[in-house]
Structure 1
Amino acid sequence: MHKQSKINGHAAALRIANFDTDQVMPKQFLRGIDKSGLTEGLFYDLRFDEEGKPKPEFFLNQPAYATTDVLIAGSNYGCGSSREHAVWGMQQFGFKAVIASSFAEIFYSNAMGNGLLLVVLPEDQVQALMKEAEDSGAPICVDIDIENLTVRTLKHEFKFTMSARHHRMFLEGLDVIGLTLKYKPQIDAFAQEHWKAQPWVKDVARRTIDRLVMSS
């Protein structure tokens, strides 16, 4: 992850509630275990017809929306299975943030842990942003101040919240492992005290393997 204190993006609306991860990234694009090659699969059934040809009516296929990198989505976005590919695909396509009134819990954790910002606003505020985006006929400029937790467009300004843990991860560019390593001295100190009080549990896996090797 890289440090992010602000996102200056271009937002468009996807007015579909309960948009699940199979719609974000269909199952046929989950063959690989790495993060590559997922751009084609993003929103595949909305973007392409049965012959694989782009649907001209879908906004992301229109030249006017080529700069879209922030999605204003319906409630419960990212419900369904826990596939992390849905997050990776959105990032590979160029999305930096999603704004909605609610997200599925696992999708939220996957996204925030990978640096895809999810902004939760009350439903009436999301609807106001959707209307502004739809009325414009093109992506609207949106400034998301992560440090001060505000979303600003030409017509609106809203406050949002996030956990202190996620706030720090974005501002300092930390993933979950990186955040954990910030506490390495405390972790090491706890381990030393734990092994001092219960020495028989220290390196038990290594000692077991050594015994098995010696007896074979």
Structure 2
Amino acid sequence: MADLAPEPGAAALRVAVDGPDVAAPVALAEALATRLPPLGRSAVVVPAAGFLRPASLRLEHGRTDPDARYTDWLDAGALAREVLDPLGPGGSGEFLPVLWDVARDRAARAPRRPMPPGGVLLVPGALLQGLGLAFDVVVHLRVTPAARRRRTPPELAWELPAFDRYDAEVDPAALADAVVLADAPERPALVLRGRFS
């Protein structure tokens, strides 16, 4: 990843770290962000969870609706408009680090930030593929259905059908540039594809 350049005219290499919470995509993105500067690349982490819709929209069908979790939680348009497009070709080079404060259910009111030249943007989160988002590289953290069921806390088990549907409809492992087999978090295995292989 340190060797990949942004598209011509882009402010950053835009990387998705796609995976369920049990695979800890935010932790992986933050670990990558600390390893890139010694390799000559600045890195910024912008969690997709900062671009969830307001509770009135996100939870319109209840707090435990797996279909809503799959289709209604992430404001993909806002993530594109405020982060991915401004850092892509012809963009302003400034991004919004967070849009929505989920805990307080109100706008975060964060100021825009400039992207360091030639930097890497890491966007960790769940269910990020199949939405038409302009990522240059996608790393998918693959957790099998059996491992998801084993590792998901009981209070979040209602989300499991959303991830099953994602696997069936999007096939995120097939779309990704790199796949991390993350059934056993202490022993992840990296599978490289396309320009990485």
Same fold, judged at TM 0.5 (above): no
TM-score (norm 1): 0.27
Q: Higher relative contact order by CA 8 Å / sep ≥ 6: 1 or 2?
A: 2
Structure (1 or 2) with the larger CA radius of gyration:
1
- Structure with greater strand percent: 2
- Structure with greater helix percent: 1
